[in-house]
Amino acid sequence: MTETGGEQTHEEPAIAPKSTKTRLLLAIVGVIVVVFLGIPYIYTSNPESCTRCHSMQKYYDSWKKSSHATAAGNCFDCHVKQGTVSLWIYRISFYREIYASIVGANLKPVGATLPGVGSCQRGGCHSLNRISSTSGDIKINHRNHVMRANIPCIKCHPGAAHPHVGKIGDTLPKRKLCMQCHTAMQNNCPFCHTKRFAMSTQFTH
């Protein structure tokens, strides 16, 4: 309180700036957060990192030879649920994988899932508007099979990226798979084929 011309005035106390100790503490916390998030981010940004702690080399090699190595630049493009939250949960949980690679533990992957329909449609890679095979011979309405019959893509195309690796099957479905639902039509060629007398033991994509 001061007096000016006989009048008393009140001065607001000056707000003390943050101490050097507080600023240092915040800087340290910031660095820790960046390092904590940065380490798994760097690891998971390289798909080859999956081969370091699992028996995944054969899966990695088959993926590198497939078209998915170009369409999907990383394992999590197909094997982690879509969304930023799911991706970061996967990235942070990779500390477990880093630990396993250091101590030599054989751990199963955490956070990874089998590719779902959303994975196959991600980035416009595959469309459900397909109504025939690539050759045009086989009638196969993808939307009906996926949406109405609730058949996941990997049911018919289990080896899309890893054909014949481990217990994974072929890239394309066998005729006997289709007969599980269409037995009554097995002698009705035009039901499946657009070309007359076209007979095949393996359907095309």
Residue where the block lists tokens 């030879």: 65
Say if residue 149 is in the same domain as residue 122. yes
For residue 192, count CB atoms less than 10 angstroms from its CB and return exposed for 0-12, middle for 13-18, buried for 19 or more.
buried
Q: Residues 204, 175: contact at Cβ < 8 Å? A: no
Q: How far apart are CA 151 and CA 204, in angstroms?
A: 17
Q: Does any domain span residue 164?
A: yes
Token pair in block for residue 144: 């009906």
Q: Does any domain span residue 127?
A: yes
Angle, helices 20-44 vs 84-103, to 10°: value is 80
Say if residue 98 is in the same domain as residue 122. no
Q: How far apart are CA 166 and CA 135, in angstroms?
A: 29
What's the pTM?
0.69
Q: Does any domain span residue 141?
A: yes
Say if residue 76 is in the same domain as residue 132. no
| Residue 41 DSSP symbol | H
Count CA atoms within 13 Å of residue 77 on its CB side.
19
Q: What is the pLDDT along the chain (205 residues), one digit of tens a residue?
A: 545 555 555 555 555 455 888 889 999 999 999 999 898 898 888 888 878 766 788 999 999 998 888 888 888 889 988 888 888 888 888 888 777 777 777 776 667 788 989 889 887 788 899 888 888 888 999 999 999 999 999 999 999 999 999 889 898 888 889 888 898 888 888 888 887 654 444 444 4
Q: Domain tally for the chain?
A: 2
With CA atoms as reference, report the closest residue to 72 among 113, 125, 114, 109: 125
Q: Which domain holds residue 169?
A: 117-192
- Name the pairing type of β-strands 2-4 and 7-9: antiparallel
The per-residue pLDDT for 9 is 55
